[in-house]
Structure 1
Amino acid sequence: MTDAASSRRIDWIDIARGVALIAMAIYHFSWDLGYFGYIDPAAASSGPLKWFARSIASSFLFLVGISLILAHVNGIRWKGYGRRLAMIVASALAITVATRLFTPDAYVFFGILHQIAFASVVGLAFLRLPSPVLFAIAAAWLSVPFWGKSMLFDAPWLTWLGLSPFPPRSNDFVPVFPWFAAVLTGMGVGRLLIKTNATDRLRAHPPGRNLVSTALRFLGRHSLATYLLHQPILIACVYLFSLVILPDQGASFVRSCVATCSAQYEANKCEAFCGCALSKLQENGLLEGVFKGELSQSNDPRVAELTDACSIEAFSDDK
């Protein structure tokens, strides 16, 4: 980046992006702990952590909207725009391929990077709109999932819109509706910053130079690389830790089993089924294989027989 381009940056925005990246790493670390069985695997997708994740995604997209306005305030800089878009699209595709290989049942087909790529293209159509119009469109966009969901959008090639009545299973799903509303809101704020000359004041009064602000600014200026690298590093660290201190496989199995089962059956019956399955798997020395994903109902008749017996015992009155 040239000195001229660098001078147009606003350190406060880079720092805000850095804070969002730190928050994202904290959330992903909790997901990793659940994946390895140190906490409830469902914790990262429910309760406070679920809302924490949504606030992080909202902040990222909000900052994307602000940056989109500030980057093209004097016209679209096509060369830099094209290079950045190509990097985002390539990274999004890499995430899809990697998760398809390692977590095929919940792979990422339209996550935060896919949404940012979408916003980077579609957002160009809204660049010249004034703040009130942008805020109005954002509000309308946000409302669409409340009244616009339909089975017409349940086709796999339309799932990314976010209007199917049945949300897909994915470890990171940030559909067009309602999430593009956060980008539009950021664009509206970006317009206000320019109109009120707040951008000049922010540039004139940068944050103090200290270790924290420098680190956050660095992360914010290298947000894509940070996003791509942090999760492999975190999951490798948790994996190495698991080699030294094993998680409680039994408790982890029951938590995961109940979380999955409760999506279809009553919680108390799921607890009975999962407790029965745990006991039988432990008695037959099969728990470790199931816990590691090496054994399942589909590939081991012993597991199938045991779980079928527990299913009859727990759910017999449902039949």
Structure 2
Amino acid sequence: MLWMTAFHFCFDLDFFGFINEDFYRDPVWTGQRTAIVSLFLFTAGLSQAVALHQGQTWVRFWRRWLQVAGAALLVTAGSVAMFPNSFIYFGVLHGIAAMLIIVRLTAGWGACLWWLGALVIALKFAAPHAIATWPALDVLNSPALNWLGLINRKPITEDYVPLAPWLGVMWWGMAAGQWALRHRPHLLGTADAAATGVRRGLVTLGRWSLSYYLLHQPALLGLVWVAAQMR
């Protein structure tokens, strides 16, 4: 989350002309985005493993899912206002909302989740060759289907997190969490009641991750906009 904040701050500086970077093609920035999203989705899968281990009911799951889905709609609405020609229709929160259901339903598949995750990731790289070989598959590039991720042309949107390859990363997170709970539970941390200082701040940040995700970028944009007006 701290890495994401720094990344978005740099994006905002570029948006308002303080720096000049290519966030859409420069590997320095696209590589960071890939790493940040991977950490987000791996952690989301791991967290689902912990939630199930702690007895999370479907009622509680759906309550949380509605929060994520509602937040995704807010992101879409905000991006339409700011980027009308490249608004977000299947970004991180949209992807998480879809993947959470799939990961929850397949949580009992055990070690198969490692192989399924690898398969989904591989499909992302195989799709461009398949579409080039069978032109009829170009329909997968359409807005109605490109959320699957089986494309050879990236859609014009500010944030794009389709099922392939990202469902694979979340499946790996679930599998890793289940393995850790069985064999290395200490890797998932201990009670944080006595946490102080920086650690306590990070614990709080993690507990309010969705709220922070929604609010940090508007706050950063506001600050950079004020600086731009002063300049």
Q: CA deviation at 1:72?
A: 1.2
Cα 1:186–1:207 shift into 2, 3 Å? farther
Give 1:183's aligned residue. Answer: 170
Does 1:212 pair with 2:205? no
Q: What secondary structure, in the 3-state scheme, does the structure 1 residue paired with 2:144 have?
A: helix
Aligned-pair CA distance for 1:87: 0.4
State the SS of the aligned residue for 1:170: coil
Q: Hey, what does 1:195 align to over in structure 2?
A: 182
| Greater relative contact order, per chain length (Cα 8 Å cut-off, separation 6+) | 2
1:235 has 2:215 as partner: no
Deviates more, 1:81-90 or 1:163-172: 163-172
Asked whether the 8 Å contact 1:44–1:50 carries over to 2, the reply is yes
Deviation at 1:40?
A: 1.7
Structure 1 position 171 matched with structure 2 position 150: no
Name the CA shift for 1:204/1:153 in 2 (closer, same or farther; >3 Å).
closer
Counterparts of 2:61 and 2:52, CA distance in 1 = 9
User: Is 1:31–1:44's contact at 8 Å kept on the other side of the alignment?
Assistant: no
Say whether 1:119 aligns with 2:119: no
TM-score normalised by L of structure 1? 0.66
> Does structure 2 retain, via aligned residues, the 8 Å contact 1:35–1:41?
no
Say whether residues 1:141 and 2:120 are aligned partners: yes
Contact 1:148 1:163 in 2 (8 A): yes
Query: Deviation per CA, 1:4-26, whole angstroms, max 9, x where unpaired?
Result: xxxxxxxxxxxxxxxxx111111
Deviations 1:211-234 (A, max 9, x none): 111111111000000000000000
Question: Which residue identity lines up with residue 127 of structure 1 in the other structure?
Answer: A
The CA RMSD measured in Å over matched residues stands at 1.9
Residue 43 (structure 1) shift: 3.7
Q: What are structure 1's unaligned runs of at least 5 residues?
A: 1-20, 246-319
C-alpha contact (below 8 Å) 1:207/1:213 kept by paired residues: no
Between 201-210 and 35-44, the greater mean CA deviation after superposition: 201-210
The list of structure 1 runs, each at least 4 consecutive aligned residues, that deviate by more than 4 angstroms after superposition, is: 200-208
Partner of 1:223: 209
> What aligned pairs does 1:286-305 form with structure 2 within 5 A after superposition?
none
Q: Structure 2 vs 1, CA of residues 244 and 80 (structure 1 numbering), >3 Å: closer, same or farther?
A: same
1:210 shift after superposition: 2.8
* SS of structure 1 residue aligned to 2:157: coil
Output one character per residue of 1:178-229: Cα deviation in whole Å (capped at 9) or x when no partner.
1111101101101111221x22675547597331111111110000000000
Following TM superposition, by how much is the alpha carbon of 1:105 offset from its aligned partner in structure 2, in angstroms? 1.3
Percent of aligned positions that are identical:
29
Aligned residues: 223
Q: Please give the alpha-carbon distance, in whole angstroms, between the structure 1 residues aligned to 2:206 and 2:216.
A: 13
When residues 70 and 202 of structure 1 are mapped into structure 2, their CA distance, relative to the original with a 3 A threshold, is: closer
Deviation at residue 152 of structure 1 after TM alignment: 2.3
- Does 1:63 pair with 2:49? no
Contact 1:142–1:178 (8 Å) recurs in 2: yes
Aligned partner letter, 1:187? M
Counterpart of 2:62 (choices 82, 95, 103) is 82
The change in CA–CA distance for 1:122 and 1:54 in structure 2 (over 3 A counts) is same
* Structure 2 partner of 1:14: none
Question: Is the 1:145–1:178 contact (alpha carbons within 8 Å) kept by the matching residues of 2?
Answer: yes
1:54 maps to which residue? 34
* TM-score (ref. length: structure 2): 0.90
Q: 1:207 to 1:148 in 2, by over 3 A?
A: farther
2:148 to 161, 165, 170: 161
Gap regions ≥5 residues in structure 2:
132-137
| Residues 127 and 152 in structure 2, CA contact (< 8 A), matched pair in contact too | no
Q: Which residue matches 2:71? A: 91
